A = this chain, B = another copy of it.
């Protein structure tokens, strides 16, 4: 990213400093790879600033993101940067879980926890990993999410990942990146491999 100049200077009565430090809602969506990995990369920057980081995994399977989890836990415990808290919604379920009702309840519980933490200003960066799925599926109400995010106090940045992020969330977000799949080894018959997919 070039550092660059903003293309427009808004007439919002804010100073550059106030505008610069405005808390952001970021969405990584699309069918390509890199949505979650980029969010965890962002967590490295937050950690480096000494910010408390909260990760909420809304979709889980046995081997996904174990690398990111271990790395962020080691960093959080290193005492050199910010703290890291890692939350897994409904340990043991996954999006291929047959018992949908249980996943739906777990996702809602996760969102309730996020709301409590936003209200208490527990973290400065929230990674709501795969959160777009329960929104897309209608398990959690997108309008409520936008409303809670709009009203969140203090300086709390939120990054949300997952395919099919609902349009009202995209409209509200400050930053949206669409990860598009151009080419993937699975299309050529290759399965996922350790160190790359997990």
Contact = CB atoms under 8 A, between A and B. Distances in A.
B189 A1 contact: no
B198 A45 contact: yes
Interface residues of A, number: 82
A71 B44 contact: yes
Nearest to A173: B183
A147 interface: no
Contacts of A68: 41, 44-45, 48
B74 A24 contact: no
A56 B38 CA distance: 18
A116 interface: no
A74 B67 CA distance: 15
B45 A67 contact: yes
Nearest to A78: B74
Contact of A190 (B20, B177, B186): B20
A34 B28 contact: yes
Interface stretch (A4-12, A85-93, A105-113, A137-145): A4-12
Interface in A149-182: 157, 170, 173-182
